Structure 1
């Protein structure tokens, strides 16, 4: 039996559900990943055109097995309403649509966790909302175990390597405090060289990176469909970068941007991957 449940989202909005949702629309790739991870995927009737995990939804949409509501950033409400959803999972990228839908009487939860712990809370929220709280609880416990395993392993490291992550270039943007990237590098046993930046995604100078001299350099593989930085040779040949320890030691890594920037369950995959990049000798 389904009891009436009261849910509070990340912006403090309250939603009361009297029956389990049967027609769910997801307005963010991270929400789509969470919905499928907790076993509610069969209730999802609409996703964005950038939702690409755990399935190739473009193929599903072409085959008529899923509907696209359009973009992740500022989607229009009409395509969402057409699907007659009984629950919509939005994000701050779709806040305007969420507001409009709420005013029209739709159930809308805005899921926008800012920390790894927040993501685990979001998974539990989505589980409760969809009647999959048992699966969500088990899934979160598995993730916590994996996080603990990394933390316990890197506790044996002899040093804390300095890590540089480039979000975008050639006008360099890195990741600072309040980002998943910063939290992941720290948990993985590294020190983010821009941990003390004044903003979450600071624009930084090439000279500052050289001066901070990272031991490990990580670049995103794909970001919104493009590689902004070229090749490893392009990075190594940036003026003055040949003096950076990471470049001298060939300690250069590439990571899938969607696992390190999405507020979804694959952040634990990113954590394990980064921990191995930082301290390969600890992970056999």
Structure 2
């Protein structure tokens, strides 16, 4: 009995001890959980503070970097501006050092240009094209009326822009002779024109006013054109640009020679007007263009731009006839009417007509063939595409040729 009571007492004490221990452990757990929560909160706060501090530092650093970049950019810009200014001064001094310049122009006249010309007047389209091509644009104060209408679009647009801004004036038509009073009103320190326009009287009159006038050789051959570009470069202080232009043209021509190396030449005639009918003969830059495009000029035996008869064209019997439309005034129909009125139906025996190889040149393509300026390079390519289309993988050539119907970028 006593033993049983003792066991019961011990069980009660054990149960009470276990309960007390469980309570203590629960309390300890709660305390530990509370400490853990506090620790997590502390760590979170610390992380937040650290992140805030990090972001602040990063933002501050980014601002400093941006400020440094601005300083560097401002410094570079300042240095670049100073370098550009110095380069311009060096170029100006280099240009000024080229003067005075004395040269012999196409009339065999000695012309002296005492200082860098800042006000230049051009007397004809070919000269204007050369001046624009050697970057003498900002020196121009006047050009002939025909330059506004007989040059490729890039040059016409530039001239009209200058004209509308009041930077250049129109000095009158090349064909009716430039207006001396208008030239004088532009206050030029240099006037440049092409010898073949018979500007000798104009040059002499301007000389009487103390204005140097240079007449360029441009019409008899491409060699004349090269000389004209170099002469214009020397006269205007743009000799480097002139030399670079001639070198570029020469490189293109070398390539054309390579293309035509193994082709059979066509017999070609170029008609500049019909009734009276003017053709491009020998000793002309256009004759050189025919040769460089891989062709023979059937009138190369006659110098200059002669007037021919229907009988002469029939006898020459070109395999290809090219007509300058002169702004749409003449075409193949004009040609046939002129021929038929003199030789009747015999005109049908001319190979170019018989095999439908008469081509009329329209738009600014005429400028490529008619003006002895740097754009003759495009004229040579145009002639090659018309007369030897297979070189450019062309199967047909339209009879009416214009920038729209026959693009040169093929």
What TM-score do you get using the length of structure 1 for normalisation? 0.90
| Deviation of 1:201 (Å) | 2.0
Say if 1:112 and 1:263, in contact at 8 Å, map to a contact too.
no
Name which of 237, 248, 252 aligns with 1:146: 252
Matching residue of 2:358: 252
Given the alignment of the two structures, is residue 204 of structure 1 paired with residue 308 of structure 2, yes or no? Answer: yes
Say if 2:111 and 2:213, in contact at 8 Å, map to a contact too.
yes
| Deviation of 1:173 (Å) | 2.3
Say if 2:117 and 2:190, in contact at 8 Å, map to a contact too.
yes
Matching residue of 1:75: 178
Matching residue of 1:36: 132
CA distance in 2 between partners of 1:35 and 1:14 (Å) = 21
Name which of 200, 207, 210 aligns with 1:102: 207
| Deviation of 1:265 (Å) | 1.0
Secondary structure, counterpart of 2:281 in structure 1: coil
Secondary structure, counterpart of 2:270 in structure 1: strand
Highest RCO, 1 vs 2 (Cα 8 Å, sep ≥ 6)? 1
Matches within 5 A, 1:169-180: 169-180=274-285
Cα-to-partner distance string for 1:120-169 (whole Å, 9 max, x where unaligned): 11111111222221111111111011111112211210x22111111211
RMSD, aligned α-carbons:
2.0
Aligned length: 278
Q: What residue ranges of structure 1 are gaps of 5+ in the alignment?
A: none
Matching residue of 1:65: 167
| Deviation of 1:38 (Å) | 0.4
CA distance in 1 between partners of 2:126 and 2:334 (Å) = 32
CA distance in 1 between partners of 2:278 and 2:121 (Å) = 33
| Deviation of 1:210 (Å) | 2.3
| Deviation of 1:6 (Å) | 2.1
| Deviation of 1:226 (Å) | 5.7
Say if 1:76 and 1:97, in contact at 8 Å, map to a contact too.
no
